[in-house]
Amino acid sequence: MKVMKFGGTCVANSAMITKVEEVIEKEKEDKVITLSAVAGITNQLIDFISSFHKDEEIDAFVEELRKNHVKLLPEGNEQLLKEATEALDTRLRKLSSLLYGVSYTEEITPRTRDMIISMGERLSVVILASRLKARGINASNFNSDEIGIITDGVHGNATADMNECEKSVGPKIHALLKAGVTPVVTGFFGISKNGHVTTFGRSGTDYSASVLARSCNASVVEIWKDVDGFMTADPKMVPEAKQVDRLSYEEAAELAYFGAQVLHPRAVFPVLQKKIPIAVRNVTRPDDPGTIICNDTSTKKSILKSVSFLKKIATIKVFGTGAGYKEGFLADITQALAEANVNIYSATTSQTCVAMLLEEGDVHMAKKTLEHILGGYYERIEIHENSALVCVVGAGLGSTRGVAARVFNAIANQGVNIDLISAGASTVAYHFTVDKKDVQKTIRAIHNEFFTG
Ligand code: ASP
Ligand code: MG
C-alpha cells in the first residue's frame, strides 16, 4: 500500500482538486491519503487568533471560511452535498465556539491554539472525501485522532510516538483498506496520550504522511505538490535549474533543513529505518516520477545534487580568549539558548570564538540572554544580521577530492566573501554564510560550475 499526501496548493481550487482526484483514481494500489488545509487557510486561522475579536467579526470570519470551503464541494449529487455541508458545518460550529471562548476570556493557550489551527485540515478532508465519493471511489474522511496518531504532547512542534502509532494506526488503516475504504486522513496534527490536539509545526503534513507510512509499512510515501520535486537550485534564482531524480535520505534532510522548501525536514526520519522511499511529485505533471528519496547506494552520477539557501538567519559570535579551553563554555551557551527557545541552526568554534547561526528573529534576544548568563567571562558578542546561509549537498562532497576547492573558487571568482564555513559534520553537505546581497550570485556561480557550466 501507498501513502499519498497532497499539499494545500493541490486543493487550492476546484480545478486543482480535480487533478488530485485523477491522480488518486489512476492509482490502482491500496492507498491512504493525507491532506493539508486548503492553501492559505492555516495562515488565516493563525492571523485571526493573533488578536481578540467582537462576536460579529468572529461570525463574519467563520462565514467566509464556510463559503470558501462549500464552493469546493462536489456538484450534481444532492445527497452527498448535503452530507458534506453538514460535516463542514459541524466543524465550523466547533471552531466558532473555540474562537468565542478565546475572545471572551482574552486568553489563548497553546492547547486551544493547536485545536483552532488544526481546523483547516478537518475541513479539507471532508471536501476531498466527498469529491472522491462523487467519482465512485469509496473514500471516507478521518481526523488523525480517530486513526490513532499519538504524539509526545508538545504543542506546536509535536513528534509522533512511533511505537504507539505502529500499534494503533497500522491495524486501523489496514482494516479500512481490507473493507475497501480509501481513508482520507487529516495531516498536520496528532493527539497526545491524554487526548490533546498537538500540531507538528508549519507544513507538518509531510511529516504526517511519513508517520502514516511507517505505521502501516507502506511501500512508498508520495508527496504531491503543485511544483516539481527537489531542484538543482531554486528556479527563481536559477531559471535553468533541473529536477533532481534521486536523493539519499541524508541529502534530502540536509536540503530540507537548509532551505529547500520542498519537504518538511522531519519527514525523512519516520521512514528512514524501514527504508521506505519518499517520492516528491507534481500533480500538474503526474506522469513524471519526481524526486525519489531512498537509501541511495547507486554510483553517483553527479558529485553535487543541489544548492539551497536560507535568508532569514543571522550570525551571533561570542568572543572570549580561551573559549576553546574553558570547560563548559559551549554547554552554558547552548543550554541558555535552549531555555530561551532559540534554535541553533549550526555552530562552529575556535580558540577565541563560538559562532552560531540562528533564526533572524531570535538574534537580539539571544544576545541579551547570553550577556546575562555569561556574566564576566566573555569579551564581546557580535551579531551579523546581513548573513545568509548557502548549503551545497551531494554524497560526493565527502568522498571526491577537490570539490570544496571548486565550490569556493567559483564563489571567489565572483568576488563574494565567505564568513562562516561548516564542513565535515555531515558527509553529504557543506554550508557557509555570505552577505544576503550576494546569495543569488553565489548560487548561480555554484550552479554554473557543477550543473550548467
Ligand atoms: N496546513 C498546515 C500549514 O499550512 C500544515 C501543512 O500545510 O502541511 O502549515
Ligand atoms: Mg501548507
Give 36-85 pLDDT, tens digit per residue: 999 999 999 999 999 999 999 999 999 999 999 999 999 989 999 999 99
Q: Which atom of ligand 1 is nearest to the CA of 121?
A: 1
Q: Band of the pLDDT at 287, cuts 50, 70, 90? A: very high
Asked if residues 276 and 249 have their Cβ atoms less than 8 Å apart, the reply is no
How far is the C-alpha of 70 from the C-alpha of 310, rounded, in Å?
37
Whether the per-residue pLDDT at 298 is higher than 80: the answer is: no
Q: Look at residues 247, 265, 294 and tell me which one is the last residue of a structural domain.
A: 294
Same domain, 290 and 378: no
Question: Which of 45, 205, 208, when mutated, tests ligand 1's pocket best, judged by the most ligand atoms within 8 Å of its CB?
Answer: 205
The pLDDT score that the predictor gives to residue 422 is: 84
The pLDDT score that the predictor gives to residue 86 is: 98
Overall average pLDDT of the 193-217 stretch: 97
Cα 177 to middle of ligand 1, angstroms: 26
Same domain, 312 and 284: no
Cα 42 to middle of ligand 1, angstroms: 6
Same domain, 272 and 360: no
Q: Nearest C-alpha to atom 8 of ligand 1 is from which residue? A: 203
Overall average pLDDT of the 182-191 stretch: 98
Same domain, 179 and 275: yes
Whether the per-residue pLDDT at 18 is higher than 70: the answer is: yes
Backbone phi, psi, residue 432, to 5°? -155, 165
Domain tally, the chain: 2
Q: Nearest C-alpha to atom 6 of ligand 1 is from which residue? A: 203
376 found inside a domain: yes
- Residues above pLDDT 70, as percent of the chain: 98
Overall average pLDDT of the 207-228 stretch: 97
Cell numbers that stand for 61 in this block? 470570519
Same domain, 286 and 315: no
Task: Output the ligand 1 site: residues, CB below 6 A.
Answer: 8, 36-37, 42, 120, 187-188, 202-205
Provide the mean pLDDT of the chain. Answer: 93
299 found inside a domain: no
Range of the domain at 196: 2-294
| 300-356 pLDDT per residue, tens | 556 899 999 999 999 999 998 766 667 788 888 899 999 998 989 888 888 888 899
Whether the per-residue pLDDT at 111 is higher than 80: the answer is: yes
Give which of 423, 428, 430 is closest to 446, Cα–Cα. Answer: 430
The pLDDT score that the predictor gives to residue 39 is: 97
Whether the per-residue pLDDT at 376 is higher than 90: the answer is: no
Look at the alpha carbons of 128, 130, 135, 136 in this order and tell me if their dihedral is positive or negative.
positive
